[in-house]
Amino acid sequence: GAVVSQHPSRVICKSGTSVKIECRSLDFQATTMFWYRQFPKQSLMLMATSNEGSKATYEQGVEKDKFLINHASLTLSTLTVTSAHPEDSSFYICSATGTADLEAFFGQGTRLTVV
């Protein structure tokens, strides 16, 4: 089946620095990618939807300037957490849908810890 690779799986960074998370579709073209954030003991929160070649659509309450999303190609989307703070520490996961039947595939997730 199709594979979505998310990298890194874990990252620790200092407050004030920026962190980039990559989401790659390895064997299919991902026309749409979704970025989610998981909080402890809560359900997944959709942060933004990105379509290749266009600006991401952010959900209400998600800071566009803080969570920069780029979807420059059909196989790669990146989420950059800018000027990270401890409250940004979380588990981030991406999913991608292809052109064939819009089936969704998930990355393995990234655990971000801001110290």
Token pair 């989307």: residue = 77
Stretches 11-19, 31-39, 62-70, 79-87: which one binds other proteins (CB under 8 A)? 31-39
Stretches 16-24, 71-79, 80-88, 103-111: which one binds other proteins (CB under 8 A)? 103-111
- Return the ∠ at Cα 26 (arms to 20 and 29), rounded to 5°: 95
CB neighbourhood size of 44 (10 A): 13
CA distance 96 to 24: 8
* Least distance (Å) between residue 24 CB and other proteins: 17
Binding site for other proteins (CB under 8 A): 1, 32, 34, 36, 38-41, 43-44, 46, 49, 90-91, 93, 95, 97, 101-104, 106, 109, 111
